[in-house]
Amino acid sequence: MSHRVRAEYDLVIVGSGIAGLSFALKVAEAGYRVAIFTKKDKAESNTNYAQGGIAAVTSAGDDLEKHVEDTLEAGDGLCDPEVVRDILRDGPSRIQDLVDLGVSFSSLDDGRISLGKEGGHSKRRVLHVQDVTGKAIEEALLANIAKQDVTLFEHYFAIDLITAKKARKLGVKVGGSGDRVLGLYLYDANRSKVLTVSAPVVLLATGGAGQTYLYTTNPSIATGDGVAMASRAGLPAMNLEFIQFHPTTLHSSDQDRFLITEAVRGEGVKLIDSQGKPFLKKYHPLADLAPRDVVARAIDREMKRSGSPFVRLDTPGMKGDFPARFPNIYENCLKRGFDALVSPIPVVPAAHYSCGGIPTEIDCSTKLNGLFACGEVACTGLHGANRLASNSLLEAVVMAHRGAERVCAFLDSRKKDNITLPDWVDGDVPASDERVVLSHNLEELKRAMWDYVGIVRSTKRLERARSRLLNLEREINEYYWNAKVDLSLLEVRNLICVAELIVRSALKRKESRGLHYTLDYPDLDEEAVNTLVPPLRR
């Protein structure tokens, strides 16, 4: 059985990254009751690990059309040009919002904002706070959230949405004939109980799904929860085959993959092969500042050609002060035994960012009435087949602003429901009794995705991955419906769901484009469009 929250909320947000916090702040300022549920600590999110910065046109030597052109070029033909222009046009205003909230972007000695340059950008336009931009933005947002009437619940895991369609199947009388959000079930990790929460609007801001892969830059929380929940609620997924592998993460003997921001190469550091020679010029005219998909595939090819498990970043060759510009990276490399001033840093690609997700409109709304999505969990049309570096934080703040306005209008016009939501029914088997099954399933999932759905793919590899995932799905579903839920079980269930959606998306794309490169279809298909895969049936 589940227990209930006594207070009612106008908006429930799942996730506490830049998207969720920005959204909450604006809706709360309009006078609505907002609750944020986050599965770990409030500051634990992909935002908190974002090093590079936030891209926007803020200098006289840059303009909107250049930023639009760079974004469309990186997206390899699948960006929505209207969405791109709308989001990028709003960028400077949303940057000012962050400054007003207390974000202090790094400046040059003369007082001007320090602008970095990353792969795919034709101009310096990346605002940053040294190399801890995401952390600085997160801290500013949390400080301002504390001043608003926002209830923030830590260690609550969103299990599933409660929809009108689902409630009717369970015998609950719900007015109208269409489907809509009524609330959601959440697992309280502190008390090991399931909570039932009513809300007319739910925002999914759960971030990405990097933990589907063996090696990733993402924190442990990035388990694709929002996409999985939306799929189980009947929504399709869009462009999930486009998984961005960050080209440069610190190589280590374990699964730890500390991110080395692309801004390092923006400051002149070159990637070198096992012979100490720069190699990217032969793959792209922009060499070390080529788009991420090009760089990741080039590194993959160089490693396979040489047999080396990594390439290197020639950090001693940087003309500027590396520790001053990248203090977080410098200290973390030192902790792992690498002095960036003395020797080149060994790096490898790792799963980084999902360019696909839940399809949304420009106001964050989805096809399910009352459900909104913002941030990495959403697919707006901005990124296309490959994300331009540092456009993600910008997308989050712009879309949160637009989405908050839409939610306020939605709440103003809605008719209130008086519906008693169906209680949660748990299984009988303690999850701890089968913990070994979960760990084995998770290990097999990550290995299969890394080996078969990585930087370079083939139909045979994808089919092998699908076969393994179907077996894992059967096992986890049998386990889920009989066991008492806990955090590990819920995360593995979501990871398997999202991994299956990724593979299905990849199998549908019969071409190589952006982040999806397959040996069986190496050429671009000019007629190809965005990939939509229907929800998984459960």
Q: Provide the pairing of β-strand 2-4 with 193-198.
A: parallel
CB burial string 174-200: b at 16+ within 10 A, e below: beeeebbbbbbbbbbbeeeebbbbbbb
Token couple for 119? 């792969």
Q: Provide the pairing of β-strand 181-188 with 193-198.
A: antiparallel
How far is residue 508's CA from residue 531's CA, in Å, rounded to a whole number?
7
* Residue 332 exposed, middle or buried by CB count within 10 Å (0-12, 13-18, 19+): middle
CB atoms within 10 A of CB 42: 18
Catalytic residue, chosen from 292, 457, 466, 468, is 292
How far is residue 349's CA from residue 388's CA, in Å, rounded to a whole number?
16
**Which whole-number Å values give the CA distances from 279 to 21, 120, 296, 314, 493, in the listed order?**
41, 17, 12, 12, 41
CB 389 within 8 A of CB 120: yes
* Residue 50 exposed, middle or buried by CB count within 10 Å (0-12, 13-18, 19+): buried
* Residue 316 exposed, middle or buried by CB count within 10 Å (0-12, 13-18, 19+): middle
Query: End-to-end CA distance of the chain, in Å?
Result: 21
Best CA proximity match to 105, nearest among 73, 81, 66, 134:
134
Q: 513 an active-site residue?
A: no
**Beta bridge partners of residue 152, listed in sequence order:** 36
How far is residue 396's CA from residue 23's CA, in Å, rounded to a whole number?
9
Q: Residue 34 is inside which H or E element, if any?
A: strand 34-38
DSSP 354-415: ES-BEE--TTSB-SSBTEEE-STTEE-SSSTTSPPTTHHHHHHHHHHHHHHHHHHHHHHHPP
Residue 418, amino acid = N
CB atoms within 10 A of CB 52: 25
Q: Coil, strand, or helix at residue 40?
A: coil
**Which whole-number Å values give the CA distances from 490 to 159, 281, 431, in the listed order?**
7, 45, 10
Q: Residue 470 is inside which H or E element, if any?
A: helix 459-482
How far is residue 127's CA from residue 232's CA, in Å, rounded to a whole number?
38
Helix and strand numbers (H, E) in the chain are: 14, 20
Catalytic residue set: 292
